[in-house]
Amino acid sequence: MDGYRIEQDSLGEMQVPEDALYGAQTARAIENFPISGIPLDKSMISALGLIKKHAAQINLELGLLDADIAEAIIRAATEVVEGKWNTQFPVDTFQTGSGTSSNMNANEVIANRAARLLGHPIGSKAVHPNDQVNLGQSSNDVFPSAIHIACAEQLHHRLLPALEQLLQQLMEKTEEFKNILKIGRTHLQDATPVNMGQIFSGYARQVELAHERLSVSSSSLYELALGGTAVGTGINTHPKFGAKTIAAIARETCLPFREASNHFEAQGAKDALVTTSSSLKGCAISLFKIANDIRFLASGPRCGIGELILPAVQPGSSIMPGKINPVMAESLLQVCAQVIGNDATVALAGLSGNFELNVMMPVMAHNILQSIELLGKAIRAFEEKCLGGLQADEQRCAELLEQSLALVTALVPEIGYDRAAELAKQAHKTGQTLRELALKEGVAAEVLDKLLDPAAMTAPKQ
């Protein structure tokens, strides 16, 4: 057939597109898994290239590869790390549960590119994908290592910095809003006063804790399975290969990767990924609360709460002129919902560590990396286009505070709970103020001035 070459793998002949850097096993996987059209994440491709690059270097140092072959593999793998050959990785995410198809995709691309660098044609196997590019490795230790590398790098470079920037913005709002008094709310009902800065200090602490939890839980990603090969015993690899290769990866990434202390755990279970995903879900839940609160506090502008004023980033309606909607909050809320759903998939996939291997790794990688990417992008957009221009309506806050009957709580030490409750009922029924009714109850004006001061209620311990 024109435009194709014939290659051989252990199952027989396969047609491979003439100019493709991948080979027979990748072509077979393309036929077998026409599922979603979603290829392996770019960060996973880069991580696979990183492993192959340093594996070749260490195998050279150990005397297991000739210098010309090793150098060609290193150069080809470096190009994979840089994203030069991403289009040569077409295997669907929903593939073999070990990620073998993607590992072989990387082996074949790097082998063919290395062969071409040495002056040999594609498909010649002048550089062998299994015997040389995959030397000392198995899909069963390479693919889980690639997931850990990709997730750790994306967390370190994308999500954690986004959370740090969000935290800084929330701390600035805490300071900006600290003198704006407002009514507190519990059960969606009026409660005792707070200041707007206190509310935002709570949001800031949520983000700070989310960052801490992600940092702690993701530290287990630094253990890599490399060196365990097929089932964790390290068969067909040099005893120093795993530790040396991982040390080289750590130097290049500037992240503290280390060889797994127990290869059977590292390959049979995926608890580190489950824990990381759970922390991503926790982060999403915190962000959902923050975005939702801001959305409700900005509701109105006249017939809602209206204590916050959102920046107008786009028209809110195709039919109602002048309408401004909380679109940035809504975008973040949807991302949070997706992340929570992704975690459910990761949890179910984590259950599939059958004997010496988990067999749902590609979908775990897809969901965790998507969660990291979505959260990172949504946080930055929310911080820039919502929080950056967010204002508090001080007059509206004061009006609602004045109307609230919850201020009666401050009178309890003076007149008791039952009398205070009756006072609130009368105020609500008659439209009189709490102050007017309390004066009739015999509470001195100077006492009321002190007890009904909203600012004092926001810091009763001072």
Q: What residue segments make up the domains of the chain, in order of their start?
A: 19-135, 151-222+265-394, 405-457
Average pLDDT, stretch 87-103?
98
Q: Is the pLDDT of residue 215 over 90?
A: yes
- Residue of 102, 145, 317, 371 with catalytic role: 317
Q: Look up residue 90 and give its two tokens.
A: 């077409």
Of 1.10.10.10, 1.20.120.420, 3.40.30.10, 1.10.40.30, the CATH number of 405-457 is: 1.10.40.30
Average pLDDT, stretch 430-458?
89
CATH of domain 151-222+265-394: 1.20.200.10
- Of the candidates 135, 158, 155, the residue with the CA atom closest to the CA atom of residue 59: 135
d(CA 160, CA 211): 6
Cα end-to-end distance, the chain, whole Å: 85
- Residue of 46, 145, 148, 187 with catalytic role: 187
Task: Give the pLDDT band of residue 54 (cuts 50, 70, 90).
Answer: very high
Residue 270's alpha-carbon distances to 273, 362, 452, in angstroms, are 6, 12, 57
pLDDT score of 462: 54
DSSP one-letter string for 96-145: -TT-HHHHHHHHHHHHHHHHHHTT--TTS-SS-IIIIITTT--HHHHHHH
CA 208 to chain centre: 15
Instruction: Provide the Cα torsion 105, 106, 107, 110; round to 10°.
Output: 120
DSSP letter (8 states) at residue 263: H
User: Collapsing DSSP states into helix, strand and coil, what is residue 390?
Assistant: coil
d(CA 368, CA 370): 5
Catalytic residue check, 54: no
DSSP letter (8 states) at residue 254: T
Catalytic residue check, 279: no
pLDDT score of 349: 98
Q: Look up residue 241 and give its two tokens.
A: 């290969």
CATH of domain 19-135: 1.10.275.10
Q: Is the pLDDT of residue 47 over 70?
A: yes
pLDDT tens-digit series, residues 234-288: 999 999 999 999 999 999 999 999 999 999 999 999 999 999 999 999 999 999 9
pLDDT tens-digit series, residues 406-416: 889 999 999 99
pLDDT score of 441: 83
pLDDT score of 433: 83
Average pLDDT, stretch 33-43?
98
φ, ψ of residue 9 to 5 degrees: the values are: -125, -170
d(CA 291, CA 206): 12
Q: Look up residue 279 and give its two tokens.
A: 């922390």
Q: Look up residue 368 and give its two tokens.
A: 């965790």
Average pLDDT, stretch 314-331?
91
pLDDT score of 461: 67
Three-state secondary structure of 286-345: HHHHHHHHHHHHCCCCCCCCCCEECCCCCCCCCCCCCCCCCHHHHHHHHHHHHHHHHHHH
Average pLDDT, stretch 28-55?
98
- Of the candidates 308, 348, 346, the residue with the CA atom closest to the CA atom of residue 324: 308
Q: How many CB atoms lie within 10 A of CB 323?
A: 12
Pick the more confident residue, 320 or 137: 137
pLDDT score of 317: 85
* Percentage of the chain exceeding pLDDT 90: 90
Token pair 């150990």 is found at 62
| Summary mean pLDDT of the chain | 96
Q: Is the pLDDT of residue 1 over 70?
A: no
Handedness of CA 383, 384, 388, 392 (dihedral sign): negative
pLDDT score of 432: 87
Q: Name 259's bridge partners.
A: 224
Task: Give the pLDDT band of residue 321 (cuts 50, 70, 90).
Answer: confident
Q: Are 190 and 404 in contact (CB under 8 A)?
A: yes
Spatial neighbors of 9 by CB under 8 A, at least 6 apart, are 23, 24, 25, 28
Average pLDDT, stretch 207-212?
98
User: Collapsing DSSP states into helix, strand and coil, what is residue 184?
Assistant: strand
pLDDT score of 460: 75
Spatial neighbors of 204 by CB under 8 A, at least 6 apart, are 167, 170, 171, 174
Task: Give the pLDDT band of residue 318 (cuts 50, 70, 90).
Answer: confident
Q: How many CB atoms lie within 10 A of CB 119?
A: 9
